[in-house]
Structure 1
């Protein structure tokens, strides 16, 4: 990555993420008129009426495991000290959270007192169904990057933003590139040449990692190929809005480009995304399309050796949020709201930012909290491109589950005709968007 002498203004960078989200607010349901200002006089803190100190116990379920779990537990320690609450955390994968909460909520059961949801569409749907308690008073939108309209119903916010995930491109080890005389590609032809060169290096299984969980890491790299097409950022927004079809020629081209890489053997065997970091660090799979959480994983022994480049031809980057929600069916909703307020505060988010692999949604987290240089460089990259929402997270189910399933099958059988796959995905996409419009 190139060096810059220009200081990074996180309010500008992350404010851009919020502005990018505003463009899709209308496709997720009726926009609210905004949230009322709060009476908190402390600059940089959330502005709510929630009691700051309470006694009780709160359970949290989210997607953070292994090293990210340790980072979140450090935030939990901070919140416990500030609120006198006892907090327990249970990690689950994304699919388990999305499907499990649906079942639990319909039965009037809280999956946990606080549930981390990656999909704004699901937040709005759950709120419309009466499953969620409001969180308007736990955060002041003036101090945060994300737009509250994304998770609001009738001017009431039903989620609070925490961790921001940028999905910039292909990570690599600078030492590996230096050892073999490799350079970042300037265009797609150079990208293909780079893959061919890496493929010929002894000890390399494949140039590109195929990370998997429930299909979502495959969806991230697929979105990158969609974004690299002509007007890719607008195409992504139009797909989210249902104004573009998944059979669009540009989507077909994106899938065909991936298909060529798969059939040429440039993608590795599909493995759990966390395990793939081990192969990545050992230079067995030197390029890995992953998000801004990468420097924090245990397999990354030296974050200073990391660098990243965007897929050539791409002028947009996905920016996604992790949202805290509080089910109405919990034993102590007020205690859960108090815990959320402290977690999303500048002090709460700074705890993880200082540990690395975290970009705060709270704009009052100071720049000097980011000790790992690559995290500031990511912010610089984000400031130079258009920022768009995550496609499947924003659209939600049933499209998201179908998207993941189709991609898992595509990686397993890349020789199949892509057009029937895209026909089926477009049908589910349009049905999902129509259902949201009816809410």
Structure 2
């Protein structure tokens, strides 16, 4: 993906592909580390985020007396390997962290997961049981929430060039035009990629800025709205116009784009709350963001901890999950930056950076909606990512046939969930 195949951060290629870390299918069962030796966790965090999560693991080990090991996978590998393993009754790891609640519900309904509702009280967390509940059983426990607040920028760059945050969409387009004329700028907007996201996050922002955008997003997830809705068409036409104007950069791995962002070569980057923790961000104090004008909602995506029904020691795995998702466990990562806890009892002063506190406070003031493709899962998610990559490659195409195709897959996905 992109120009640099080295992994940088969340949902990217496996670091072990070059020979460092080897991740085996069925890690928690035959041929892998047994539950008696260590509780194994697999998730999508690598590099800086892996270090942050390992600090939480240290806390959980002290609390439980368990040995806990961690092996990262990229999103596609995680979703594919677990599906194959579960079908033959194998636990890919003792604890599997899934970024897609749609997949949690499917795995729970299929009998692949242990119920975890007893580990957390929905009144104490910033989410409800319903997101991962099937027939009265809750099949996952919430860890950090990834909030997608808007376009990140460096205040020092804005100050140097007398730029201001836009108040409306016309001012947003004017801002892009101003930035585009600055020497050394490749393009105003970053096009990050990792199998099709975070282009999907950008697309969702444009859906949310339409009339009743939050309700529209929820209706799309439930199958009560069509991807050919006039508002979705408008959102994609707005994206298309910006692409045709050359306001979006070349598509690169999303982690690599942070380097271009920090060097002010691509000064605006629609990205998540994990941004301040990335290694390319040399001074997190020189970060701020603004919502896409017209938006009155933010997308939030939760990292869900699950325990496969095939884990050798389910009780030990659930003990580890309980410690990790606790307010004290989540506070460990919160203090390190780039993390928004789902546990409501994490104190406000745990945020080391003002911008992280700002995101948390603004999230309390706007409507929060689920990530569209994460909530739906495949086959919609894969098709959504594919079509967006196609739009970025050929922005002059007619968007309506693309949206008709996406709507067909949307209805297929929702139909599968209802059966």
**In the alignment, which residue of structure 1 is the partner of 2:266?**
285
* Counterparts of residues 228-243 of structure 1 (less than 5 Å): 228-243=209-224
Matches within 5 A, 1:9-88: 56-88=37-69
SS in 2 for 1:354: helix
Aligned residues: 385
Once the two structures are TM-superposed, the CA of residue 94 in structure 1 deviates from its matched residue by: 1.4
Structure 2 equivalent of residue 194 of structure 1:
175
**CA positional deviation for 1:108:** 1.2
Deviation at 1:364, TM superposition (A): 0.9
Larger RCO, structures 1/2 (Cα 8 Å, 6+ apart): 1
**For residues 186 and 142 of structure 1, what CA distance do their matches in structure 2 show?**
35
Displacement after TM superposition at 1:140 (Å): 2.1
Show CA shifts across 1:274-298 (max 9, x none). Answer: 1111110110100000011111111
Instruction: Please tell me whether the aligned partners of residues 57 and 335 of structure 1 are also in contact (alpha carbons under 8 angstroms).
Output: no
Question: 1:325 aligned to 306, 328, 335, which one?
Answer: 306
State how far apart, in whole Å, the 2-side matches of 1:142 and 1:249 are. Answer: 37
Paired residue secondary structure (2:336): coil
Query: Among 98, 107, 112, which residue is 1:131 paired with?
Result: 112
User: Equivalences for 1:35-434 in 2 at 5 Å?
Assistant: 56-434=37-415
Match in the other structure for 1:16 = none
Give TM-score scaled by structure 1 length.
Answer: 0.86
User: Could you report, residue by residue, the CA deviation over 1:357-393 in whole angstroms, capped at 9, with x for unpaired residues?
Assistant: 1111111111111111101111222223221111111
Residue 56 (structure 1) shift? 4.2
Give yes or no for contact 1:350–1:360 (8 Å, CA) kept in 2: yes
Superposition deviation, residue 55 in structure 1: 6.6
Per-residue CA distance 1:317-349 (angstroms, 9 max, x = gap): 111211000111122221111110000011100
Q: 1:154 to 1:56 in 2, by over 3 A?
A: farther
**Counterpart position of 1:17:** none
- Greater displacement, 205-214 / 82-91: 82-91
For residue 170 of structure 1, report the CA deviation from its aligned partner. 0.2
Distance 1:263 1:97 in 2: 35
The separation in 2 between residues aligned to 1:195 and 1:60, in whole angstroms, is 42
| Mapped contact 1:136–1:158 kept (Cα < 8 A) | yes
Is the partner of 1:145 in helix, strand or coil?
coil
Q: Give TM-score scaled by structure 2 length.
A: 0.90
Gaps of 5+ in 1: 1-53
CA contact (8 A) 1:165 1:291 kept: yes
**1:155 Cα offset (Å):** 2.2
Query: What is the aligned partner in structure 2 of residue 437 from structure 1?
Result: 418
CA contact (8 A) 1:168 1:290 kept: yes
Q: CA RMSD in A?
A: 1.2
By how many angstroms is 1:149 displaced? 1.7
5+ residue gaps in structure 2?
A: 1-34
Structure 2 residue matching 1:360: 3-state secondary structure = coil
